[in-house]
Structure 1
Amino acid sequence: MNASIVNFMRNAPATYHPGWGAAEFTDWQDEQLSWKNSCYLGDWSFLWEIQVDGPDALRLFEQSSVNSFAKFPIGAAKHLVQCNDNGKVIAEGVLMRIGEQSFRTQSTTAFWTAWLIRNGDYDVTYSKPSRFQFQVSGPNALAVCEKAAGESLTDIGFMHFRTVRIAGVEVHALRQGMAGEVGFELHGDAAHAEDVRAAILASGEEFGIRRLGRRTAMINHLEAAFPTGGWHYLADMFADGFMPFMLEEFDLMGLSGKIGGSFESDDIDDYFLSPIALGWGKSVKFDHEFTGRAALEREIANPSKVRVTLEFDSQDVVDIYGSLFEDGEPYQFLDIPHQERWVAWSDAVRNDDGDVIGISTVPGYSYYFRKVLTLSYVDPRYSEPGTRVQVVWGAPGTRQKLIGATVAPAPYKKDNRRADLLALARPA
């Protein structure tokens, strides 16, 4: 069964992601610099979302996730992580507490939570609100959002939210920052999305705001080390009956799951990763019973993989493009700045002896750092920055190349998400 799943996913079509509104708005180099020099407006409204209401809502999330709920007031948010019995990630996304018994969650946690409600014994209901979700992130994000809202936002703590009004529309302003910079996610009724978007862009004009397109949107996740399912890891979503449920209940936008890269195994479990390997160990709290707890207790005491960034040797990348201008079979194309296809990439990482010591995920080109980078998960013995490794580039059965790579920290760029907003605020 496992081998057939792997074979199916290797041969699945590589579907293009339809999100973010366009491939580019100015150009991808300009857009990539926005979260260093100014800020961007990115549209994540394509993410799936559900609202969960009822007396068992908190119990549902507590029993299904690694996160602690000892402190979770109304107006707070968490990075929700849900695992299987083996401690491998099934789903992850943002969870917002909007009332005593009311929660909203976006991304793959919407799928899995709905599935748990459908098949569990919880006194809750779920609905699928139609809402926009805009991100404004970068050094000028606070100034832009304050101008759009017409009020100070310095009181909003990290991973907290409150209601503001933009273009006369009620909006939840959630402070986070997926680019590793100060940022706000703005959530509201999809019927008013265009009015709010226009107001943000108008407010941001003097601050150099850019719109973020599909070609470069995931580079901020790469630089800031935010692994994303379907790109930087394969989630375990193969429970009996779950796929038909997703197809029936959610619009999957034509996306199909696919495995890419040089790493080979007939066991689908070898492609799954735990929250510890993905760098989310701080979110794993053993103050409650949850699915996968026993496996994660064992792993956290003796981790087998550590999240790092790999810097590809630039000359090896140039050689890949050079093969397009030579006779014979070229190397597999390395798409820059980032592939637009929905592929869970897994390349084998080797040491000097040729032993596989980890997995390298989808590569991306950082125009700011002038490097091809990947989020990778390697044996802890090879996780020290500066360690040299090799990445096997090329799908099985094609011409392959060993790319030299250097281990670097993850996140690769400085994490500025929790910067003091009062220090950034403009004088009144």
Structure 2
Amino acid sequence: MTDAAPFRAFKGMPPVPYFPVMGASEHSGWMDEQRSWHEDCYVGDWSFVPQIRVKGPDALRLFRDLSVNDFVKFPVGKAKHVIQCNDDGKVISEGILLRHAEDDFEYQVGTPQWTLYNAHKGGYDVEITFPFTHKFQVSGPKSLGVLERLTKTDLRDVRFMNTKTGEIGDVEVTFLRQGMAGEIGFEIQGPIENYPTVLEAILEAGKDFGMRRLGTRDFMINHLEACYPTGAMHFYNALGDESLTDYRKFMDENLPPEWEPTPFNGPLRYNFSTSFTGSWDGENIEDLYRSPIEMGWGRNIAFDHDFPGRAALEEEMANPPRKVVTLEFNSDDMKRIHASLYDDGPIYQQLDLPENQWVSAWTDWILKDGEKIGHSTHPGYSVWFKKTLALSFIDVAYSEPGTEVTVLWGQPGEPQTEIRATVAPAPYKQDSRRRDLRSEPALA
């Protein structure tokens, strides 16, 4: 097991801030930007997400060997949420895999190093490159109107997690239907050199639809409302333990030249997860790893092939110990936390509204009658719901919506208090991603 103490933010290592390449923190103000995916629409820039492109006769076999997913039905033009685990069934890597051709795959993921390492280790007959692309998310109830003004390509027949090639002016792009805000949404992708042209066209098309640009201060809030657990924030990617010496040696010796000017040549060389904070005081960093089952991704697992972690996940699937929920924090208690800055008495750890701007796995203990029953992660404030919320991993016995619990707030050795919280469903907001676009009214 690996000592967790060196990974504690500020005490063991400095936490990684959001990188400048992720864009401005705010454009029209974080409260206004949060309302966009409920009322109108937004454009968010996720071009910083790295990807690894794998071509060749063994490309499909590489992803099948590494991933929990079923690849029996994976036609060209389809996208999948692909998950890779260690031998204990804990998530090492997860992201979107696009199939461009029979032997051509693009994995957009925070930890592409694991695929690179295993491709070399396993001697797969593949060619690997590291392209840079623009990835603009357009999402919200009015997003279809923006897209129909933006392009002549008919997108109404595109089903969830499918792609379609089209044009924006004279520029060819790929439209990937997804919806990280739990609303209708597409991600517009293409070569990075077309970045300014495509962004300008999106903003122009969105003027009449109340479109806002999404800043980094709100990046995790729609993930929180729509239940998209994100590596390094809501869980710790299982690449932090001492057993991975060969992997680390490989990355030191085989860093792709394309990554030299990026954070992958610095704090993210081995892992997107680098630190944690919060009241969790466990001894082993492995205790912050998560299985796909407890994160609500059990439906993605196919036990029709061998993959790392299969045995552990089969056992867990039969009797899951924890599940993902949303914790709704008591508002009076949150007011008390903020008021401690001005009142006599201890000052408690503060939540940087709407959420802390560190790539760090904030993890607090969930308590019931003094017993530790789970982890509350990376809290954030939702303007729409006027609540502080947290995606949380809780013992199944306490996962029923309406269950009252408390969250231990404050780092060890600092002032701590308990915050009352109520278990709520995950996702917290209504999921509208998969609506049939053919029946949507015309907006353009």
Structure 1 length-normalised TM = 0.96
- Aligned residue for 1:278? 295
- Aligned residue for 2:404? 388
Q: Report the Cα distance in structure 1 between the residues aligned to 2:281 and 2:131, rounded to whole angstroms.
A: 40
Q: Secondary structure at the match of 1:104?
A: strand
Q: Secondary structure at the match of 1:310?
A: strand
Could you tell me which runs of 5 or more consecutive residues in structure 1 were left unpaired when the two chains were aligned: none
Q: Report the Cα distance in structure 2 between the residues aligned to 1:73 and 1:110, rounded to whole angstroms.
A: 22
- Aligned residue for 2:14? 13
Whether the aligned pair in 2 keeps the contact of 1:95 and 1:104 (CA below 8 Å) is yes
Q: Secondary structure at the match of 2:16?
A: coil
Deviation at 1:255, TM superposition (A): 4.7
Structure 1 position 198 matched with structure 2 position 232: no
- Aligned residue for 1:252? 263
Deviation at 1:20, TM superposition (A): 3.5
Q: Report the Cα distance in structure 2 between the residues aligned to 1:245 and 1:28, rounded to whole angstroms.
A: 41
- 2:419 corresponds to which letter in structure 1? I
> How many residues are aligned here?
425
Q: Report the Cα distance in structure 2 between the residues aligned to 1:223 and 1:243, rounded to whole angstroms.
A: 35
Deviation at 1:252, TM superposition (A): 2.1
- Aligned residue for 1:208? 210
Structure 1 position 298 matched with structure 2 position 307: no
- Aligned residue for 1:228? 230
Q: Report the Cα distance in structure 2 between the residues aligned to 1:130 and 1:399, rounded to whole angstroms.
A: 45
Deviation at 1:245, TM superposition (A): 4.8
- Aligned residue for 2:271? none
1:340-355 equivalence runs, <5 A: 340-352=357-369, 354-355=370-371
Q: Report the Cα distance in structure 1 between the residues aligned to 2:281 and 2:409, rounded to whole angstroms.
A: 12
Structure 1 position 242 matched with structure 2 position 247: yes
Q: 1:312 to 1:255 in 2, by over 3 A?
A: farther
Whether the aligned pair in 2 keeps the contact of 1:237 and 1:243 (CA below 8 Å) is no
Partner residue of 1:86 out of 72, 88, 91: 88
Partner residue of 1:411 out of 404, 412, 427: 427
- Aligned residue for 1:167? 169
Deviation at 1:151, TM superposition (A): 2.8
- Aligned residue for 1:287? 304
Residue range with higher mean Cα deviation, 136-145 or 192-201? 136-145
Residue range with higher mean Cα deviation, 131-140 or 141-150? 141-150
Q: What percentage of residue pairs aligned between the two structures are identical? A: 49
Deviation at 1:291, TM superposition (A): 1.0
Q: Secondary structure at the match of 1:346?
A: strand
- Aligned residue for 1:422? 438
Deviation at 1:161, TM superposition (A): 0.2
Deviation digits for residues 264-316 of structure 1 (CA, Å, limit 9, x no counterpart): 11122211110001110111111211111100000010111110000000011
Deviation digits for residues 340-391 of structure 1 (CA, Å, limit 9, x no counterpart): 1111111000102x11000000100000000000000000000000000110
Deviation at 1:243, TM superposition (A): 4.1
Q: 1:71 to 1:105 in 2, by over 3 A?
A: same
Residue range with higher mean Cα deviation, 11-20 or 239-248? 239-248
Whether the aligned pair in 2 keeps the contact of 1:154 and 1:425 (CA below 8 Å) is no
Could you tell me which runs of 5 or more consecutive residues in structure 2 were left unpaired when the two chains were aligned: 269-273
- Aligned residue for 1:356? 372
Deviation at 1:94, TM superposition (A): 0.2
1:67-86 equivalence runs, <5 A: 67-86=69-88
Whether the aligned pair in 2 keeps the contact of 1:277 and 1:306 (CA below 8 Å) is yes
Deviation at 1:128, TM superposition (A): 0.5
Deviation at 1:246, TM superposition (A): 4.9
Q: Report the Cα distance in structure 2 between the residues aligned to 1:336 and 1:116, rounded to whole angstroms.
A: 40
CA RMSD of aligned residues (A): 1.4
1:310-349 equivalence runs, <5 A: 310-349=327-366
Whether the aligned pair in 1 keeps the contact of 2:229 and 2:391 (CA below 8 Å) is yes
Deviation at 1:118, TM superposition (A): 2.3
Residue range with higher mean Cα deviation, 373-382 or 334-343? 334-343
1:105-120 equivalence runs, <5 A: 105-120=107-122
Q: Report the Cα distance in structure 2 between the residues aligned to 1:165 and 1:246, rounded to whole angstroms.
A: 38
Deviation at 1:241, TM superposition (A): 3.8
Partner residue of 2:42 out of 34, 40, 43: 40
- 2:341 corresponds to which letter in structure 1? L
Deviation at 1:143, TM superposition (A): 1.4
Q: Secondary structure at the match of 2:17?
A: coil
- Aligned residue for 1:132? 134
Whether the aligned pair in 2 keeps the contact of 1:20 and 1:212 (CA below 8 Å) is no
Deviation at 1:50, TM superposition (A): 1.1
Deviation at 1:86, TM superposition (A): 0.4
- Aligned residue for 1:2? 2
Q: Report the Cα distance in structure 1 between the residues aligned to 2:287 and 2:141, rounded to whole angstroms.
A: 39
- 1:407 corresponds to which letter in structure 2? V
